[in-house]
Structure 1
Amino acid sequence: MKLVIRVKLLPTPEQASALQATLHACNAAANHVSHIAFTTGTKRNRELRALTYTHLKTRWSLGAQAAQHVIKKTADAYAALTGNLKAGNLGKPGSKRFRRATEKPIAFRPQGAQPYDDRMLSWQMPQRTVSIWTVAGRMKRLAFTGEESQLLLLAHHRQGESDLISHNGHWYLLATVDLPENPTTPDPRGFIGIDLGITNIATTSTGHRHSGRRLNRSRQNDRRNRDNLAKKQTRSAKRRAKRRAGREARRTRDINHKISKHIVTEAQRTGRGIALEDLGGIRERVRLKKPQRVTLHSWAFAQLGAFIAYKARRAGVPVVHVHPAYTSQECSRCHHVDKRNRPTQAVFSCRNCGFVEHADLNASHVIADRGWWMWVRGAESQVPALTLIA
């Protein structure tokens, strides 16, 4: 199982300048390669290398490995673009979005990430330092830090390349680790159903509700402040809006990590699996009142599901995804489905058997039942193989 560990570099001002110059040079070289690929139609790694390798080394003072990584990064970017075009992810041919993606070369930001292999980067884990290539020469004894448990994983399971990135003036290395997987529990004692929603972000069939009321108020305040800043159209307002957006994203990720950890820990402790709704395309399927649309479209439900999935995979907890149709209208006791079973947003009252329960809790029981039957039929879900640890 592959995970990505992020470690924070602690460069001196001189070291930070060298790192910044390196990223700028590598991405300027990538833009040059991209222009060659666009104008000549040559987008494969080997052919691009024949056209650009020598020029990259002389003009931008790139080392041999750095030049090859720049070329490969560009070729991979065009391969990803071709895949998205074929899949229709960028609209139909001739559409504005399609033309915008195909009428000019792919551009790389000056601060874009740069991959490093073991010839360009070496780790000294006991000293918490790295030796890294820069355009100013080999930089040794560059300190780094990180969460102790993640650094332990990095020391024992690191594999492959690492990416150098810069974010808000801070420097990071993203390193891949390959962890051995725990065997999935072959005979779970049942399933914990997870109902995802707006008022309650996640409700489990064991009775835990992760409320979103306080969070939604904070998000409403954030949206109001963001709108006010957008109206000003000044440089200062734009900088403040960007900082606020980063804080919102980090807060969302932190909450999703906490919720997913609690759910997976409970499932592991009780020997049960986890049943989630398959929410693919939820934004196109549901019809909500206008005040609810912003909340639905802005919360990272997919991120929460991915966090639950990869944590479950590490713990050996089975995960299934069930069809979400009528989970809010089906009675968990008699399985009668009726739109009138939901007289209010929070109350479920079965018209057939008279069973009354909190609506989200009833839906989580329905999801748990569906998860069990899917497991019996052998429909175990596939969990994503690569997820970021923030």
Structure 2
Amino acid sequence: MQREVATTVRVKLHALTERKADLLSREYDAFQTAVQGDDANLYSATKQQASKVRKQKNPRRDTEQPVVLRNDVLGVEYDEDTVLSSWWVKIPVYDPERGRGNSIWCPAIVPEKDEPLVHEGKVRDSELVRRDDGWYVHLVVKKRYKVREKYDDVLAIDMGARWIATSVALSTRETTFYGKDVRRVREHYKQLRKSIGKAKVRQGKQVLHRIGNTESRKVDDCLHKISRTIVDDAVARNAVIAMGDLGGIREGNDKGGHFNDKLHKMPFAKLLSYIEYKAHREGIEVVLVDEAYTSQTCNRCAEKGVRNTQGRFRCPHCGLDDNADKNGATNIGKRVLGKFSKPLSNTGAVLTRPETQVIVEPENSPDAVDLTLSEGTPRV
């Protein structure tokens, strides 16, 4: 089987002439004006993207939006014989001297590890981003990868407010909690914004914008590390990754202002996308399942239990007392077994689901079979 993976490559523009730098700045500033609904001269395709951003995000005036570069007017080329740079990116801009749209070729630095991907993949709609240290193009590249069809385990991931991700290896119940660093970064910058607001710092909007960018980069770095660790674990176990569908993660979770604040600020979708593309690049499948009631159901007897405010799950029927996130992740892992044609192969554990009991034979047993992903497995 194959999966198409969209990967974002951070490409730095360098050695820009003064004119090219000015055109980029003018286009970037005009895009900020356009997303607020005001008139601005922009490259026509980029102006259309600004209108879409405005409708979809309705951004505040104190925030900056990356310039969306449509893939049919964006270009990336490689020429090893060019002295200034081997990589070049064509960026559409409005040229005030000509009074119309134009394109400029900018020398670029593509990370060495991503060069094969940019060579072989298809460039999709991307973004132009301005940072303190210069200009970047967040290049979105799609490529098809072959994923494994046989697995020995399930690595189930539950996402929530207390921990952004809790992973459980279904065969051993080994559990890992992720997200302490994300919470620490969020809380630090939340307090920093409060102190700036109380002090009424001059140029407060600019300061808050810089703080927001720094916070975003630090959180993003944490997410990359978390997703990398999860995928490496799945590769080592030859495990399919099971995750809950994000559609209902925020629904039905009104548990007070503090909890809701943490829940709604957690970057679940971004973490899911990082896990998916890293996993697919390693040949590991990610299966999304309906996670309804996984947090309320006992993973041992399948009856309804109680999740308390201390993060524990207790079942009044069989007496299970376990970490609530671990319980939810285990249920997600068991639910994904229904999407496979055969049970696990090599652990000797007993896996119980509401409908049936699956006996997992030891690896050297003549009855051992592989966990094989069915061709008809639905994707959410």
Fold shared, TM-score > 0.5 on shorter chain: yes
What amino acid maps onto 2:379 in structure 1?
S
TM (norm. structure 1) is 0.68
Range moving further from structure 2, 114-123 or 361-370: 114-123
> Whole-Å Cα distance in 1 between the matches of residues 379 and 89 of structure 2?
40
Alpha-carbon distance, 1:223 to partner: 0.7
Distance 1:351 1:190, change over 3 A: same
Report what 1:170 is aligned to: 134
Report what 1:336 is aligned to: 303
Report what 1:278 is aligned to: 245
Report what 1:186 is aligned to: 149
TM (norm. structure 2) is 0.70
Unaligned runs of 5+ in 1: 40-59, 61-66, 91-96, 101-108, 383-390
Are 1:4 and 2:11 an aligned pair?
Answer: no
Report what 1:147 is aligned to: 111
Higher helix share: 1
Matching residue within 250, 270, 279 for 2:217: 250
Alignment of 1:78-97 (within 5 A): 80=52
Task: Assess if the C-alpha contact under 8 Å between 1:9 and 1:145 holds in 2.
Answer: yes
Distance 1:195 1:115, change over 3 A: closer
Are 1:354 and 2:354 an aligned pair?
Answer: no
Task: Assess if the C-alpha contact under 8 Å between 1:330 and 1:337 holds in 2.
Answer: yes
Task: Assess if the C-alpha contact under 8 Å between 1:194 and 1:274 holds in 2.
Answer: yes
> Whole-Å Cα distance in 2 between the matches of residues 360 and 32 of structure 1?
44
Report what 1:124 is aligned to: 79
Unaligned runs of 5+ in 2: 342-373
CA RMSD of aligned residues (A): 4.1
Alpha-carbon distance, 1:155 to partner: 3.7
Alpha-carbon distance, 1:237 to partner: 2.9
Report what 1:104 is aligned to: none
Alpha-carbon distance, 1:77 to partner: 5.0
Report what 1:20 is aligned to: 21
Relative contact order (alpha carbons < 8 A, sep ≥ 6): 1 or 2 greater? 1
Count of aligned positions: 325
Are 1:74 and 2:39 an aligned pair?
Answer: no
> Whole-Å Cα distance in 1 between the matches of residues 149 and 313 of structure 2?
34
Report what 1:388 is aligned to: none
Alpha-carbon distance, 1:369 to partner: 0.2
SS of structure 1 residue aligned to 2:274:
helix
The sequence identity of aligned pairs, in percent, is 26
> Whole-Å Cα distance in 1 between the matches of residues 271 and 126 of structure 2?
25
Alpha-carbon distance, 1:117 to partner: 6.9
Alignment of 1:1-390 (within 5 A): 1=4, 2-11=6-15, 15=17, 17-23=18-24, 70-75=43-48, 80=52, 112=67, 122-125=77-80, 128-130=85-87, 143-157=107-121, 159=123, 164-168=128-132, 170-182=134-146, 184-206=147-169, 207-213=174-180, 215-339=182-306, 342-343=307-308, 345-376=310-341, 378-382=376-380
> Whole-Å Cα distance in 2 between the matches of residues 186 and 110 of structure 1?
40
> Whole-Å Cα distance in 2 between the matches of residues 351 and 190 of structure 1?
29
Task: Assess if the C-alpha contact under 8 Å between 1:23 and 1:113 holds in 2.
Answer: no
